A and B are shown apart, each in its own frame.
Chain A
Amino acid sequence: MISRRDFLQVSMAASALYGTSGFGNWARLAAQQALTQDQLLEFETFGNVSLIHITDIHAQLKPIYFREPSINIGVGGNKGAVPHVTGSDFRKLYGIDDGSHAAYALTYDDFTSLAQGYGRVGGLDRVATVVNAIRADRPDALLLDGGDTWHGSYTCYQTEGQDMVNVMNGLKPDAMTFHWEFTLGSGRVNELVESLPFTSLGQNIFDSEWDEPAELFKPYKMFERGGVKIAVIGQAFPYMPIANPRWMFPEYSFGIREDNMKEMVAEVRGKGAELVVLLSHNGFDVDKKMAGNVEGIDVILSGHTHDALPEPVLVGKTHIIASGSNGKFVSRVDLDVRDGEMKGIKHKLIPIFSDVIAPDADMAKLIDVQRAPYADQLSEVIGKTDSLLYRRGNFNGSWDDLICDALISEREADIAMSPGVRWGPSILPGQEITREDIWNVTSMSYGEAYRSEMTGEFIHTILEDVGDNLFNPDPYYQQGGDMVRIGGMGYKIDVTKPQGERITDMTLLKTGEKIDPSKTYVVAGWASVNEGTEGPQIWDVVEDHIKKQGTIKLDPNNSVQVVGA
């Protein structure tokens, strides 16, 4: 992790300049003076094996802003446990000073002023610099991509993932697993996977007709690094055909498949693996449960739920590493493996501060080549925002408030629904909104914005169903997204209740009346998992709305009342 000494240095510099509060109103120069590339990369090489983990990039090739969630509720055994700790509680837990670079990277408060001070994060050319630096220390380090790589931007959509494949190949990963990649459609996924110069992993990727392991994806890959036999087992997102449109990849079946995971661990140990690494797209709580149920996994590189944790979480003998999203972090994990077992671990979650870490020139060029054909489209300014636009949070975020506003006004609806996805960068107050920015939070292969009539009872059923995907106390029944975002309607949710009893007090905001179960309402939404959904693409709906508004100014959203958190 970032050492406590580093925090101290930054906060002392702040105190010297601004007094002891050190919180808010950071000047850009002062903040960055305290931070250097060497400091971010500082790491005394340890043991004999290095793992580099990056995950959930969501096609973010360039530096962005990314605000972490303020609300991330854990239920059942995970209540109050990381990653379900946010803001000042998170800083207290890890000894992070207010206003420090780690506070900016890992927590949400005072985001706008800290972002103005510390600048953007991510960018795969900066990631390349970090990866190269680790490889300079340890030339045979394994680079592992946790998936959600070929999705989430204008250029990724236009090139059907080719831009990301080209750029990631430049980073030379050793293996990868998957989630949103499959929404390119199975034909395209197969084509891209066949082109990769590294192994595609997923012990839970099966053929849906015969329920046998899919040929194109391997359950694991054996490596020999630093004289150590290493098995990397892959776990794709288990609930793709439920959370995403099944009709786009009908040949494939997924699931958690814990029994098969146990068999794979036994198989690789039988083949002499001294270190077993799980490259996972399960989501953090699912990984915790799996670590408890499946013996023999040394390290889980966890993806999907976009959590960034500065220290590994230990379950039994398994260390779980969470490396964030959108290119904002890279994890370095050094391991000491001797006499056939793991003896020690040293870990650092490296935040990719774009103004501090120098871009790798070759990678910068490669990225520019992918983007050049679309430069005019990407950079077109659609409007401006006075409000901070962000997505993360269990119930709503201002980006989805804006998207729901767009759906209600452009599609003349009573109520709007926006999917509870966790990807999508943030936009600071005062920034212009470009077409690229809109696509960064809406791009997908099933973005049609439908307009439909639903009864109050059916809307309730949807909220209960999605709520259970998030708040079922058994992690194996969770899908790792957030609550569906609702515009035009408020409700109360008790996260401790079972499905069917969580959601009450549904209220139509424009009239203040309770939602009538038998009455029909006009609902507009997007990202339907059903085939044949009709409507304009969501990015066009949002673009039209922003153009009409000119400057976006959003009121705080207090329409969801949470109980039992």
Chain B
Amino acid sequence: MEFSRRDTLALGAGAVALAVLPFQVNAAADEAIAAFTGGADVAEGGVTLTAPEIAENGNTVPVSVDAAGATSILLLAAGNPTPGVATFNFGELAGSQSASTRIRLAGTQDVVAIAKMADGSFARAASTVKVTIGGCGG
């Protein structure tokens, strides 16, 4: 939790950015969700989103999604300046509807996955990933 001078400066700049940006689902994320769903209702559940509670490294956070019966899954980092991460499309011959990737998170925020099911319905899961400057373990 302490820093060398160089890191302090870098983190200091980051801290200023943190104070300005509200890390919640921002307008850009809402727009991306609306574009994906066409404004349809989105149910909770039916999607498994696996992400760490606290990122070991905010620059490369492992995230995976799994939604049985999905035709595509939209993955968003809701608090990033550009929230869109990926849209995974699954063809009829796909053995499973799951995908893994690593994403960069600008700060503590929600990662959101929205699955479009074969019947045209939508399902959602979200997980808060904390990006910390490090602490002190017991």
A interface residues (Cβ-Cβ under 8 A, vs B): 56, 179-180, 208, 211, 237-244, 246, 253-256, 259, 283, 304-306, 417, 419-423, 450, 452-455, 457-458, 461-462, 465-466, 468-469, 472, 474, 476-477, 479-482, 484, 499, 525-530, 532-534
Contacts and interface: CB of A to CB of B under 8 A. Distances in A.
A243 B136 contact: yes
B2 A477 contact: no
Contacts of A244: 137
Contacts of B38: none
A191 B47 CA distance: 41
Given A452-B3, A452-B8, A453-B5, A458 B15 contact: yes
11 contacts: A237-B137, A242-B134, A246-B56, A255-B52, A454-B12, A465-B134, A481-B136, A499-B108, A530-B3, A533-B4, A534-B4
Contacts of A450: 2-5
A477 B54 contact: yes
B132 A465 contact: yes
Nearest to A303: B138
Contacts of A477: 53-54, 128, 130
B135 interface: yes
A455 B9 CA distance: 9
B21 to A, nearest CB: 12
Nearest to A244: B137
Contact of B53 (A255, A417, A423, A484): A255
Contacts of A462: 1, 133
Interface in B1-35: 1-5, 7-8, 11-12, 15-16, 18-19
Contact of B8 (A208, A243, A306, A454): A454
Contacts, number: 137
A465 B137 contact: no
A419 B19 CA distance: 25
A179 B133 CA distance: 19
Contacts of B4: 450, 452, 528, 530, 532-534
A481 B137 contact: yes
B62 interface: yes
Contacts of B82: none
Ranked 6 nearest A-B pairs via Cβ:
A243-B137, A419-B136, A422-B138, A469-B135, A528-B2, A241-B56
Contacts of B133: 461-462, 465
A534 B5 CA distance: 10
Contacts of B54: 239, 242, 255, 477, 479
Contacts of B121: none
Given A241-B57, A466-B1, A476-B53, A529 B134 contact: yes
A476 B130 CA distance: 11
B12 A481 contact: no
Contacts of A241: 56-57
Given A452-B3, A455-B12, A180 B56 contact: no
B15 A457 contact: yes
B56 A242 contact: yes
Contacts of A417: 1-2
B71 interface: no
Contacts of A484: 1, 136
B83 to A, nearest CB: 21
A300 to B, nearest CB: 17
Given A211-B62, A255-B53, A469-B132, A452 B5 contact: yes
A254 B53 CA distance: 11
Contact of A465 (B1, B19, B55, B57): B1
A254 B56 contact: yes
A465 B131 CA distance: 10
A29 B4 CA distance: 52
Nearest to A524: B2
Contacts of A465: 1, 132-135
B104 to A, nearest CB: 16
B137 A239 contact: yes
A453 B11 CA distance: 12
Interface in B97-138: 100, 108, 128, 130, 132-138
B8 A239 contact: no
B35 to A, nearest CB: 30
Contacts of B55: 242
Given A241-B57, A242-B54, A453 B135 contact: no
A458 B12 contact: yes
A527 B2 CA distance: 7
B50 interface: yes
Contacts of A534: 4
Contacts of B19: 457
A468 B132 contact: yes
A180 B135 CA distance: 14
A419 B1 contact: yes
Given A179-B137, A465-B1, 10 more contacts: A242-B135, A244-B137, A253-B56, A461-B18, A462-B1, A465-B132, A481-B135, A528-B1, A528-B4, A529-B1
Contacts of B2: 417, 419, 450, 452, 525-530, 533
Contacts of B50: 259
